Structure 1
């Protein structure tokens, strides 16, 4: 993907649509100090260049998923045959081959902790797996595919699910078009979507492609924290511009994260900054070599086949 240069106005626009992907062009124009046509053109240019997409991110609890974990897998022999088996698991929403102490990492999302434990046991029992080390998430602090606000459980019917499915594909789909698809009036559709947004069932925002902005190197990291400074340390790490993902955890570490950097030097600078954060006692990192699966939909399926040569930078 060609690197895209963003100016200050583009950066401000990204911040606005990350907060509210359905912000009107009038609201965007006021926030940016532009005319409505200029705001529309700016956003369309970023969409056309595939710098970002605007989509609804549905809270996993809506799908009955309430327990999440990161699993690092030690393997005897080639890793890809093991990875293919992990990719086939519905609980595995993210699977990546990496360079590090463990050659394979996965994120699991399960209905409850019993189901999560069963998924970990199934990974540990796969042929070729020597060890599966687990970090159970206590809170997801930053993630493009996880709504940023609290979720207030509410009844979700088939019409709501149909709306959520369409918003996942295009978060800026007009209310009239959504209504026509599910058999509701525009006003009834607006009411439903606003209710889903207010409950935290879905967040509509911009999903940014790091490689389009020159951040072509992805590294994962796990942290051991000073218990008394843990909250401040996590807040400081979350605010680092390179951090794409961060979760607090219990188990093999106190936090798990992913960062995007433009180069090996940039990656080193980030890790040095991370090590210097007050409250961070130790950092272990790994380089993502090939993203094998990333699918946060309710019916998780293998989204990228293991042997097709797809890399994390494609």
Structure 2
């Protein structure tokens, strides 16, 4: 079987992942929209077998293919973390928040009284309205702290998926200036919204979403991809690597926060680094094998000379993860 050397994997996959599934995932890392026929040829199996394993992994086997789009292009440039302090069990509040449209990612923490939530909104007024109208009134919510996200820094293994060589993941600054954004129209936006939900959406389904013919839709899609307005990215569940423990570290920087963010983004366990407004300068998301591994990563971060006060939130459960403005 060709293409299964594992060189594209950020970490070794668990031994329970079969050779053919490893090969399928590796090809998705290289090309998230690889066709079944090309997949079968590359991994040395039949199209029927390739299709079966591909569909199994995408249907709940720990692999998601998404289209990465700057949220400013989708009229949702205001990005924020919410720290929700609860009176009731945090997982109950987290589940209620998961039903709201603006939430992109939600985790309940192991202290059982904190929920961390990432959201995207149209503007600051929409952000405040979301918090006041949909979060604070929830049963069990005691208080909410808003941290606006100012900038995101790519990591080598963002969402535990490795971009092909020579391609970086999408980067953005929150509330990007309109004159710096690429020009797209309403039809492009419909295609991007569909790809954001499913990076492997067929040209037929994209055509139905945007109202164009399939050839015209294909031309639009290729144009968007060539301009890096959308990048197709394969995200791998951390459990496939044996990474069962996740956490967010919030960091106060003692020197240049941009340099510190870039240093932290190079750590292999780090999957997100964002620059924040408020008490903490950075939010750093990590995935680890177990609590001992998390402790090692935490000690590595807090002993960096440019890192000051640090707050650790270990996840008890992640109840929503849409990868919409993952990288």
TM-score range relative to shorter protein: 0.7 to 0.9
Q: Structure 1 unaligned runs (5+)?
A: 1-5, 30-34, 299-314
Deviation at 1:264, TM superposition (A): 1.4
Per-residue deviation, residues 65-101 of structure 1 (Å, max 9, x unmatched): 1111111122223334433443333322222211249
What pairs with 1:1-314 in structure 2 (closer than 5 Å)? 7-11=5-9, 18=29, 21-22=32-33, 37-38=42-43, 48-49=56-57, 50-100=61-111, 103-122=114-133, 123-142=135-154, 144=159, 148-150=170-172, 152-157=181-186, 159-168=187-196, 170-172=198-200, 187-228=215-256, 230-295=257-322
Aligned equivalents of 2:194, 2:218: Cα separation in 1: 14
Distance 1:180 1:70, change over 3 A: closer
Q: Structure 2 unaligned runs (5+)?
A: 11-22, 162-167, 173-179
Distance 1:181 1:85, change over 3 A: closer
Aligned equivalents of 2:282, 2:27: Cα separation in 1: 28
Q: How many residues align?
A: 285
Deviation at 1:118, TM superposition (A): 2.4
Deviation at 1:287, TM superposition (A): 1.4
Please name the residue that 1:301 is paired with: none
Distance 1:250 1:168, change over 3 A: closer
Counterpart contact for 1:58–1:203, Cα < 8 Å: yes
Range with bigger deviation, 264-273 or 88-97: 88-97
Q: Secondary structure at the match of 2:148?
A: strand
Aligned equivalents of 1:126, 1:199: Cα separation in 2: 42
Distance 1:166 1:63, change over 3 A: closer
Counterpart contact for 1:196–1:202, Cα < 8 Å: yes
Please name the residue that 1:305 is paired with: none
Distance 1:110 1:174, change over 3 A: closer
Deviation at 1:237, TM superposition (A): 0.8
Per-residue deviation, residues 258-297 of structure 1 (Å, max 9, x unmatched): 1111111111111111112331112211111122223366
- Name the TM-score, length of structure 1 as normaliser: 0.73
- Name the TM-score, length of structure 2 as normaliser: 0.71
Aligned equivalents of 1:108, 1:170: Cα separation in 2: 19
Aligned equivalents of 2:214, 2:56: Cα separation in 1: 27
Counterpart contact for 1:46–1:52, Cα < 8 Å: no
Alignment root-mean-square deviation, CA: 3.8
Counterpart contact for 2:82–2:144, Cα < 8 Å: yes
Counterpart contact for 2:153–2:272, Cα < 8 Å: yes
Counterpart contact for 2:66–2:324, Cα < 8 Å: no
Deviation at 1:115, TM superposition (A): 1.3
Counterpart contact for 2:62–2:240, Cα < 8 Å: yes
Deviation at 1:58, TM superposition (A): 3.0
Deviation at 1:133, TM superposition (A): 1.8
